[in-house]
Amino acid sequence: MNPIKCPKCSSKRTIWRGYRRNRSRDKRLRLCRACGRKFTPDDGYLRMRFKPQIIRKAVGLRKKGFSSAEVRTHLQRYEGAKVSRWTIIKWERRYRKKA
Ligand SMILES: [Zn+2]
């Protein structure tokens, strides 16, 4: 994994330090040891409309061999999330290595 840079000073000397509570999940905070600033790193999910656990579940089901239509039905039934098949395919391409 690449070192996480401080958005303020671009230092790579950053460490995990605590959590910030969020409506959908707890976000981990990172502290920059160079300038002392705390920040939330962009983990790739920040701009997503759906919760990370839904994305992970979708990618996990695809890995197990379920079709995008089956995954879509599952997410709607058990997670209450309306996700298009195209979105699931996009997630799969983007997050396959992470999930
Ligand atoms: Zn910094």
Indicate whether 57 pLDDT > 90: yes
Domain boundaries, the chain: 1-42, 52-95
Question: What's the CA-to-centroid distance between 58 and ligand 1, angstroms?
Answer: 35
What is the pTM assigned to this prediction?
A: 0.51
Nearest C-alpha neighbor of 75 from the set 53, 97, 96: 53
- How far apart CA 44 and CA 95 sit, in angstroms, is 9
Adjacent-strand bridge partners of 15: 31
Tens-digit pLDDT profile for residues 9-50: 999 999 988 877 665 566 788 999 999 999 887 665 555 678
Question: What's the CA-to-centroid distance between 5 and ligand 1, angstroms?
Answer: 8
- How far apart CA 95 and CA 99 sit, in angstroms, is 6
Task: Say if residues 47 and 28 touch (Cβ distance below 8 Å).
Answer: no
Question: What's the CA-to-centroid distance between 99 and ligand 1, angstroms?
Answer: 29
> What is the side-by-side order of every strand in the sheet holding 38-39?
14-21, 26-32, 38-39
